[in-house]
Amino acid sequence: MITKTSRWLPFVALLAPLLLVSCRNEVVVRHAATLEEARTMAEAEAMPILLDFNAEWCSVCAAFAADAATSSAIQQAMSRAVTLDVDVESAAGSVLAERFAVEGLPTFVVLNLAEEELARWSGYAGADDFVRRLDFVTSDPVTLAERSVRFQEKPALDDALILAKHHRARQEWAEADRYWQRAREIDADGSRAYEAEIVSTRLAGFDAGAFSPEDVKRELIRLFDSDRVPAMEKASLVAFIFDRFERNEAHSLGSEFIDPALALLEGSNEEDAENLRPGLEIARALHVENDEEKALLLVQRSFSDGWRDDPIEINEIAWWSFENDVRLEDALALITRALEIVEDADRAMLLDTRAEILFKLGRTEQAVETIAEAVRLDPSNDYYQQQIVRFSSRDAPIL
202 is a domain residue: no
- Out of 106, 126, 146, a domain closes at 126
Element (H, E) at 126: none
79-86: average pLDDT: 98
| Domain harbouring 99, CATH code | 3.40.30.10
Task: State pLDDT tens for residues 206-221.
Answer: 999 999 999 999 999 9
User: Phi/psi of residue 13, each to 5°?
Assistant: -70, 160
150 is a domain residue: no
55 is a domain residue: yes
> Residue 224's closest CA among 214, 216, 235?
235
Task: State pLDDT tens for residues 103-143.
Answer: 999 999 999 999 999 999 999 999 999 999 999 999 999 99
Residue 398 gets which letter from DSSP? P
Task: State pLDDT tens for residues 334-364.
Answer: 999 999 999 999 999 999 999 999 999 999 9
319 is a domain residue: yes
pLDDT recorded at residue 191: 76
Query: What pTM was computed for the model?
Result: 0.81
| Residue 238 reports pLDDT greater than 50 | yes
354 is a domain residue: yes
Residue 396 pLDDT level (bands cut at 50, 70, 90): low
Give 8 or 389, the one with higher predicted confidence. 389
214 is a domain residue: no
Task: State pLDDT tens for residues 9-44.
Answer: 332 332 333 333 333 446 899 999 999 999 999 999
Burial of 261 (0-12, 13-18, 19+ CB in 10 A): buried
- Out of 126, 154, 185, a domain closes at 126
235-255: average pLDDT: 96
- Out of 97, 126, 155, a domain closes at 126
Report helix angle 311-324 to 344-360, nearest 10: 20
Give residue 110's domain range: 1-126
293 is a domain residue: no
104 is a domain residue: yes
Task: State pLDDT tens for residues 137-148.
Answer: 999 999 999 999
| Domain harbouring 310, CATH code | 1.25.40.10
Q: What's the structural domain count of the chain?
A: 2
160-180: average pLDDT: 96
Give 191 or 86, the one with higher predicted confidence. 86
